Chain A
């Protein structure tokens, strides 16, 4: 399917009629520029609304008709909105022109429409030049681009986020829906519906055979038994189907509870982190108070550091004085002791040591020495002053007390401690703030209720699984019995029954082959998606240390590094590149082809990734329409490499609060 013409009337910001002309041919890249709020998303919504009768708001909810009508038009009393698409439907190499138009208009007499039932709806459809009944509108759309796979063709930045969720092994319910949609675009329904259709037809054929066989006496009883067995098989199959639905519902509910519990487990972590942060803050604040007090006390003594050099000098002088006095005191002591000995010896007239009389000559020398000592002692009297010595010692001690060294350096250490405490305190306060934000609205009491529900669901699931196991065993037994019965009947069947039997058996064989093939098809497609997405990813990424992507059960893709390890954390830009690689792979493998219309696809990309993706985009589909704003693309710089691919460009101008204009640029 390719778009050739888009016509809007009073849709969203587009007052009155507006149109866009496209080539409707392969190899078409259309750029539509527009700032935020100009009406890019409304244009995407207009196409979606025309095709499927539903436009979505930013939260993904369906918008009522009255919200779709341009505000000015509504104010002027034009209570009508319409979108028409001219499409080229390509099938088996044949192009068929298709025209679709959807219009909603307020019912006659309704002047202030509020809800959808206040509007009349018109759907017009033309195919190959023939006007078709409006009830064929949906069939025609379904043939070209079924709504269930439209998310892969008409998408905005939000859709990329949905794909990013797929990478997580514990898939959310939402991710499972995306997974199903992926399998749908890959063509898995062709196998799944095949199995269902063939199973239904096989049952019909079995019944038809049994009904006919009852008319023949030879096999009448066997046919009755076969019917009874078929009833049992049907009943068991129906029961197993119900149990399967119950299992799916219970599993979905259990997943929801586990997600809630995981969310609350995270909140419990936040609660513990909050307690730890508060304790840390209290401890740091106490330490800060103590340090500030210590600093205050030291500051009081800071004047001593000012005096310290002067006192140090004075102490040096005093110590030198003390040393001189001490030397004099020691000399005086020694001289006084010598004087006493010599005087005693002179008075006793004999030697104090050997007790021998002292000769006259020696006495004369001693008297001379005594005189010398007395002379020296009289000289020392001024210097060798023990009291002065004690006084100086006391003064030096006092001076040391006045000027203990290092008050300033002590304050410096405290300042460093205080700045470390301030940083730690800031961190702890931020932790407290984050934890408080996480915990806003958190009710601790719900956790036990979730746990109880989880236990109950686990038990319920176990019971369902057991019932399914028993049911499957019984079903296998009944099918074996039924096959034995059918073999026995075959031996005796009449020529008139033969084609009915063959029909039944052919269908049974077809069911078996289809059953075996669904899993194989899904595995095969998953491998192919991985290979294609890896090829695209390596083309798009700027990090050459990556070797590709690896796929999980949900079709989530993880980056693989060149050493074979996975890259667990990736930037928002890398997430977007991975998601685009998945979309590229799905479009290559899709069971239906359509135009890809991307709203704001470059939002989180840096310049080099943007360049790579712009080069890749023209290969994504036969027709690509990009809705971009100037913040993500600079036309002069970014579009140069793809200039040759661009078939047309439009600019959406936002003229006032309720009106936007679409203007064609250049050719």
Chain B
């Protein structure tokens, strides 16, 4: 019935985040940023942030562990 669904809010935010990630030459991988954005999108109206933070913490931990394995020894 809608004439137009002009923009998907999640896609809009993700595009902006990705643009800034590149502009700032950020170290955060694009797929991790995308997953964080997806979690935030789902929980944006939740007052209790605990569950969301727990989810993101777990996600970043997994990424960090994988990256640590790939990082060359510094000493």
A interface with B by C-beta (< 8 Å) = 26-28, 142-143, 146, 148-149, 184, 186-187, 189-191, 193-194, 196-198, 200-201, 204-205, 490-493, 495, 498-500, 502-503, 505-507, 509-510, 512-514, 516-517, 520-521, 524-525, 528, 532, 588-592, 618-619, 621-622
**Measured between C-beta atoms, what is the minimum distance from B35 to chain A in Å?**
11
Q: How far is the CA of A190 from the CA of B26 in the complex (A)?
A: 20
Known interface pairs A197-B49, A506-B60; 6 further A-B residue pairs with C-beta atoms within 8 A, sorted by A's residue number = A146-B45, A499-B64, A502-B67, A510-B28, A510-B33, A513-B24
Q: Is the interface of B mostly helix, strand, loop or mixed?
A: helix
Chain B residues, Cβ within 8 Å of A197: 40, 49, 52-53, 56
Q: How far is the CA of A491 from the CA of B72 in the complex (A)?
A: 12
Q: How far is the CA of A495 from the CA of B72 in the complex (A)?
A: 10
Chain A residues, Cβ within 8 Å of B74: 490-493
Would you list which residues of chain B between 8 and 59 have a CB under 8 Å from chain A? Answer: 9-10, 12-13, 16-17, 19-21, 23-24, 26-28, 32-33, 36-37, 40-41, 43-46, 49, 52-53, 56-57
Residue from the set A28, A509, A524 with the largest chain B CB neighbour count within 10 Å: A509
Q: How far is the CA of A621 from the CA of B10 in the complex (A)?
A: 19
Take A142-B46, A200-B53, A514-B17 as given contacts and tell me if A190 and B60 are in contact as well, using a CB distance cutoff of 8 Å.
Answer: no
**Measured between C-beta atoms, what is the minimum distance from A211 to chain B in Å?**
15
Contact (Cβ within 8 A) A622 B6: no
Interface size of B in residues (CB-CB distance below 8 Å): 47
Residue from the set B9, B26, B56 with the largest chain A CB neighbour count within 10 Å: B9
Chain B residues, Cβ within 8 Å of A198: 36, 56
Contact (Cβ within 8 A) B28 A509: yes
Contact (Cβ within 8 A) B20 A191: no
Contact (Cβ within 8 A) B13 A521: yes
Report the nearest A residue to B23, measured CB to CB.
A516
A491 CB contact (under 8 Å) in B27, B32, B75: B75
Report the nearest A residue to B54, measured CB to CB.
A201
Contact (Cβ within 8 A) B71 A502: yes
Q: How far is the CA of A499 from the CA of B66 in the complex (A)?
A: 8
13 CB < 8 A contacts A-B = A28-B1, A142-B45, A190-B41, A190-B44, A198-B56, A492-B74, A502-B67, A502-B68, A503-B63, A516-B20, A520-B19, A588-B6, A622-B2
Report the nearest A residue to B26, measured CB to CB.
A509
Report the nearest B residue to A218, measured CB to CB.
B75
Q: How far is the CA of A150 from the CA of B42 in the complex (A)?
A: 18
The 8 closest A-B pairs by CB, nearest first: A187-B9, A503-B64, A27-B1, A499-B68, A146-B45, A509-B28, A502-B64, A190-B44
Chain B residues, Cβ within 8 Å of A521: 12-13, 16
Contact (Cβ within 8 A) B64 A588: no
Chain A residues, Cβ within 8 Å of B52: 193, 197
**Measured between C-beta atoms, what is the minimum distance from A531 to chain B in Å?**
8
Q: How far is the CA of A198 from the CA of B63 in the complex (A)?
A: 15
Report the nearest A residue to B63, measured CB to CB.
A506
Contact (Cβ within 8 A) B20 A588: no
Chain B residues, Cβ within 8 Å of A528: 6-7
